[in-house]
Amino acid sequence: MVRFALAVLVAALLLPAAAASAQTAQTTVSGAANLRTSAGGGKVIAKLRRGTKVTITCQKVGAVAATPRDGASRIWSRVIAGAKRGWVADGLLNGSTQALAAPLCGIKPATTPAPPGVLEGTCGIKAPVVLIPPFATTEAFIAAALPGARSSRATYRVPVSLTLAQGILETGGGKIAALANNYFGLKAQATKQPGVYRWEANAVGCVLKKTRESERGRLVLTVGAFRAYPSLDQSILDHGARLATNPVYKPAFDFTDDPRRFLREVARRYATDPAYASKLISLIDRYDLDQYD
């Protein structure tokens, strides 16, 4: 679940040039790039020089391409370059390292929170909620998250120290929240309908953003659908609900009176990182989070 590289804590979220419309964005080519007939293959229509101005009309997940900025990536942009139209690997365009520049091709993005009771729909490429500013310090994040963590313990029996430690680890101390007030990296689930995702009651929609996923032992940049929340407390409660209702975490709830044993049971199923539990315990010790259990 830990997908957020701390090296991009202050990554630019906007393209360098103003958006041409709500559905397109203008940018430039960062280096020599091939304009192709498909997302990851097909014929080369033209060779674009560094600095060439292009308009991104939509984006798509396609074949893996290697780019200087993003490394292995499946994200491609449908662009207009002069009189030509085609596909360019997104990592060869100047712009954001987190946010999508334009909607997914053929999918109309959501722009507002879902009404109460609506638990599925399309995702936005911008948050449908007001984003909480990054917390200045980890201590400030802990203070803000503590009421929600206590509510999660009361409702779902999740130890406060685990909730706080995971929130710190997943967000770099409250600085990265998946562009959606999402402090635990929880994703919306794809449905059978293309472009439509499902979230749970604490969320009010979802946001599509760039994320790295493991493929055959290597990390590849792709597009993920992350749940969006109106508040930090709602994100925390959704985390608690996830642990309490997902059967894979059931063994942990035999140890609610032993927070560290609970943590180890959760960690072995929550992340592929073999050091995940150790990292959480290190944070608990560093910030004295045991005191809140």
34 domain residue, yes or no: yes
Q: Are residues 125 and 57 in the same domain?
A: no
As for how many domains the chain has, the answer is 2
Domain range holding 66?
15-92
Q: Are residues 160 and 62 in the same domain?
A: no
Q: Are residues 65 and 200 in the same domain?
A: no
pLDDT of 216 reads 84
Give the mean pLDDT of 28-48. Answer: 92
pLDDT tens profile 164-185: 999 999 999 999 999 999 999 9
Q: Where a domain ends, among 92, 109, 144?
A: 92
Cβ-based neighbours of 122, under 8 Å, separated by 6 or more: 107, 108, 109, 110, 195, 196, 197
pTM above 0.75, yes or no: yes
If one compares 268 and 151, the residue with the highest pLDDT of the two is 151
115 domain residue, yes or no: no
268 domain residue, yes or no: yes
Q: Find the CATH number of the domain harbouring 73.
A: 2.30.30
Q: Find the CATH number of the domain harbouring 259.
A: 1.10.530.10
Q: Are residues 86 and 154 in the same domain?
A: no
Give me the residues paired with residue 61 across strands: 75
Q: Are residues 81 and 163 in the same domain?
A: no
Distance of CA 75 to the CA centre of its chain: 14
Distance (Å, whole) CA 228 – CA 88: 29
109 domain residue, yes or no: no
pLDDT tens profile 214-257: 888 889 999 999 999 999 999 999 999 999 999 999 999 999 99
pLDDT of 97 reads 82
For residue 87, what are its two tokens? 């596909």
pLDDT tens profile 192-215: 999 999 999 999 999 999 999 988
Distance (Å, whole) CA 46 – CA 52: 12
pLDDT of 18 strictly over 90: no
How buried is 275 (Cβ within 10 angstroms: 0-12 exposed, 13-18 middle, 19+ buried)? exposed
Range name among 21-25, 126-130, 141-145, 201-205 with the lowest pLDDT average: 21-25
Distance (Å, whole) CA 142 – CA 208: 27
Q: Are residues 172 and 52 in the same domain?
A: no
pLDDT of 21 reads 40
What percentage of the chain exceeds 70 in pLDDT?
Answer: 92
Q: Are residues 124 and 88 in the same domain?
A: no
Rg of the chain over Cα atoms, rounded to whole angstroms, equals 20
CA 190 → CA 121, 169, 195, 242, distances in Å?
10, 26, 8, 17
Q: Where a domain ends, among 51, 74, 92?
A: 92
What percentage of the chain exceeds 90 in pLDDT?
Answer: 83
107 domain residue, yes or no: no
pLDDT band per the 50, 70, 90 thresholds, residue 17? very low
Q: Are residues 141 and 79 in the same domain?
A: no
pLDDT of 237 reads 98
Angle between helices 276-286 and 160-171 (to 10 degrees): 110
Q: Are residues 64 and 170 in the same domain?
A: no
pLDDT of 10 strictly over 50: no
3 domain residue, yes or no: no
Q: Are residues 272 and 136 in the same domain?
A: yes
196 domain residue, yes or no: yes
Q: Are residues 71 and 168 in the same domain?
A: no
CA 283 → CA 33, 162, 164, 286, distances in Å?
43, 10, 9, 5
Q: Are residues 167 and 226 in the same domain?
A: yes
167 domain residue, yes or no: yes
